[in-house]
Amino acid sequence: GENVEQHPSTLSVQEGDSAVIKCTYSDSASNYFPWYKQELGKRPQLIIDIRSNVGEKKDQRIAVTLNKTAKHFSLHITETQPEDSAVYFCAASIGTNAGKSTFGDGTTLTVKP
């Protein structure tokens, strides 16, 4: 089955700096790669996703890049703010079936004011 590894497990940045979280996956049949933000005690919320026919996608301060050859994808957050502090999860899905996603173990991002 699919295996997703996520690094780093914790990340601390100063407000205004950029943050980068990286994930690798094992199954070349995976074609859908979402990123979720989970605040303490709350549900995971989709913040951005990318499909395998696209190499990069951007939404305001958030961007995701995908390298299918190397089987890795990354989340980039620019101009970080304290409210960006949360746990971020990457995931991969075989085909484009988001409902059978394999998740990484998460990155705890702390943005210091």
Binding site for another protein (CB under 8 A): 1, 4, 6, 32, 34, 36, 42-46, 49, 89, 91, 95-106
Residue 36 or 84 with smaller CB distance to another protein: 36
Residue 38 or 78 with smaller CB distance to another protein: 38
- Supply the minimum distance, in Å, between the C-beta of residue 87 and another protein: 9
Distance set, CA 94 to CA 20, 64, 73, 110, 113 (Å)? 24, 18, 15, 31, 39
- Supply the minimum distance, in Å, between the C-beta of residue 74 and another protein: 17
- Supply the minimum distance, in Å, between the C-beta of residue 34 and another protein: 7
- Supply the minimum distance, in Å, between the C-beta of residue 55 and another protein: 20
CA 3 to chain centre: 15
Q: At residue 83, what are phi and psi to the nearest 5 degrees?
A: -70, -5
Give the tokens for residue 80.
């970080």
Residue 45 or 81 with smaller CB distance to another protein: 45
Nearest CA among 111, 112, 113, 98 for reference residue 44: 98
